[in-house]
Amino acid sequence: MALAWAGCTGPSSPAAGGGPRSVTVAVEAPLTGPSAAAGADLVRGVRMAVAQLDAGKGILGHQVRVVVGDDRGRLAVARRVAATLVADRPVAVVGPPDPTLAAVVEPLYRRAGLAVLDVAPGGAPRSGVVELQGDDEQLAVLDAQEIVSVLHARTVAVMADPGLPVAAAVPALQALLVQAGVAVPLVADLQKPGDVGTALTELAVMKPDVVVLAVSDAQAGGLAAALVAAGVGSRRLVVETAPGAAAFAGAAGRAGTDTLVGGLPPLSQMAGGPAYQVAYLRRYGVDAGPWGALGADAVTVLSDAARRAGAITGPAVAEAAMNSASLQGVTGDLTIDPDSGRRRVPPLAVLDIAKSGVMSIDSAWAAFSGWPPPSGK
């Protein structure tokens, strides 16, 4: 079952109230703080998908009540929010989008018997959790394929901040590259004082074919500009999965156009993205973002799982969600590997960054991969 966005044009409305014929779905997201825009987008996507369900028969004849917890993007707050949402007795929870917070609170939701639909980038598979974006291993595979099969690199250097979630994919990427016969002569730890300058000096001499940057958007932009100034290579790969690259583009300047990013493609290049964008704009009066698309897909997985389970209890829905197959969403095929909870075909691609910061699927990657990806069933 896939949600049809063509008819979703009405104004936004409050969440449906509770009652004997309602089922509760929770959303944890940052609605205040620096990541508030991402959180608001996630909540809007969930609400729009729920509105589509409630316009029909809901979930097994039950209208859907959405409850939202604002974790402010802070771990201490996220723990309190999780306890509050669990007390509302939802059947499932969507979010949070922050991978660090997700790693801590999702096990709490699972222990409470909820179905958990993870929208955060990266991370490692967690028992019983459906991962809708792509984990560290899948990102590493994507990057390794680009480096080996598209860029045909023979030497690769890595500059990483191990304190950031985005760097978690580096060990798997390094192992894949070495297995493919690619030399990785430098892995610089940017948490160490003075290591950036030392690494840039070494790279200027080494001149690797590709430099992998596993750091924040803004830091990656500054490093890209510094690498160009140092005359290091002409093509870099940034291991980064967070949607949006304005901070990177602003810091990188002209160097940004020589950079490739592994992550979510823009909605316009996703399978159900264009229709979703139109419906979202009509409903909310603002442009859709990627978090809402993942939230809408979470609702699609949830409703399909409940239908197949014939029940709306958390454990039954969680088990059925882990066995989702032949299901289409905004971001593509939603077939889930039941052993890991990962999507068999994650919605990840190699992207180019324009000077404006706008990302689009790299043409060389598209030709190599045959984008859009095939069904994962």
Token pair for 37: 């825009």
| β 22-29/359-361 pair status | unpaired
106-133 pLDDT, tens digit per residue, is 999 999 999 999 999 888 888 899 999 9
Least Cα distance to 345 among 356, 333, 357 occurs for 333
pLDDT (average), residues 47-67: 95
Q: How does pLDDT run across 189-240, given as a tens digit for each residue?
A: 888 777 788 888 888 888 888 989 888 777 777 888 888 777 775 556 665 5
In angstroms, the CA 11 to CA 282 distance is: 8
Helix (H, G, I), strand (E, B), or coil: what is residue 177?
A: helix
| 280 CB-near residues (< 8 Å, 6+ apart) | 44, 45, 48, 286, 287, 288, 292
Nearest CA to 341 out of 174, 99, 119 is that of: 119
Q: Does domain 22-133+268-333 have CATH number 3.40.50.2300?
A: yes
pLDDT in tens, 336-347: 999 999 999 999
- What's residue 247's pLDDT? 64
- DSSP three-state, residue 16: coil
DSSP at 14:
P
pTM of the predicted model as reported, rounded to 2 decimal places: 0.90
The pLDDT tens digits of the residues spanning 58-89 come to 999 999 999 999 999 999 999 999 999 999 99
Cα-based angle 322, 97, 31 (whole degrees, multiple of 5): 130
Kindly write down the DSSP assignment for every residue of 346-371, as one continuous string.
-S-EEEEE-TTS-EEE-HHHHHHHTS
How do the domains of the chain map onto residue ranges?
22-133+268-333, 136-263+349-369
For residues 8 and 276, is the Cβ–Cβ distance under 8 A? no
CATH architecture entry for 136-263+349-369:
3-Layer(aba) Sandwich (3.40)
pLDDT at 16 (0 to 100): 42
Contact 90, 67 (CB under 8 A): yes
Q: Is it the case that residue 10 has pLDDT exceeding 60? A: no
113/187 Cα distance (integer angstroms): 41
Strand partners, 188: 159
Q: At what angle do helices 36-55 and 273-284 cross, to 10 degrees?
A: 100
Name the least confident of 29-33, 104-108, 286-290, 360-364: 360-364
Q: pLDDT value at position 1?
A: 53
Domains 22-133+268-333 and 136-263+349-369 share a fold: yes
Q: What is the pLDDT of residue 12?
A: 37
